Amino acid sequence: MVPPDGGRPGPASAMNPDSIPPGAPEVVRAFVAVELGHAARAALRAQQDHLAAAAPRRAVRWTRPEQCHLTLCFLGNVTAARIPELARSLETALAGCTAFSLELDAAGAFPSLAAPLVIWLGLRGDLAALHDLQQRATAGAAGFGEHREERDFHPHLTLGRVTTREARTVRALGDVIARAPAPPPAAWQVSAVQLFKSVLQPDGAVYNVLASFPLGAAASSHPSGAAHFPHSDAGPSC
């Protein structure tokens, strides 16, 4: 799952700087997400390559695997001056959460295989812990961003967006997704949550970590269990 800039259904572009009135506060386009483990990202890339090879040509705009995250909540534009306050709120909301395991599952599509618009990989593992984490993150982020998510949380990792509405091509694409084999086993430990900002560039969105919140056993890398703020946001996360 990636934020709207990179394939998740929702607003497709950041605020145009020219539309911001002079003197208006600086805003950051933010979201809260979980990183994939290295093995899971490699398995996602392999599954994406398999689908791309079998799919009709030029029918899908594929997500870059290195940009794929499991989004817990998308905030939209947040006043930059409130980012430290947001981080503290998330830290409080996520306190007591412990690390847990997830694994890639079969491919699917929104809204359906009969009319695919977004192609994704599902997840399995400790989904109860994931849903609890998502609810806590959403509560911690409440009131900070302009975006209000009205859909239920459906954990998934976005592989691509369908770019055609030609009926025969769409049906063929649905068949490709339905026949796709399950991805190879690739479990990973969810040991931290990240607060990201999204920056639109000519070749697509770049995601930079603003703060990281260790979970449970992983908190030993930050003895207080407190949020960790990177010294810089030098480039996209991996």
Do residues 217 and 98 touch, judged by C-beta distance below 8 A?
yes
Catalytic residue annotation: 69, 156
Residue whose C-alpha is closest to residue 117's, from 42, 204, 43, 12: 12
- For residues 197 and 4, give the distance between their C-alpha atoms in angstroms, rounded to a whole number: 12
Sign (positive/negative) of CA torsion 127, 193, 119, 50?
Answer: negative
- For residues 1 and 161, give the distance between their C-alpha atoms in angstroms, rounded to a whole number: 12
Strand segments, DSSP code E, in the chain are 27-34, 60-62, 70-79, 100-110, 118-125, 156-162, 187-190, 192-201, 204-214
Question: Scanning the structure block, which residue is given the tokens 């339905």?
Answer: 178
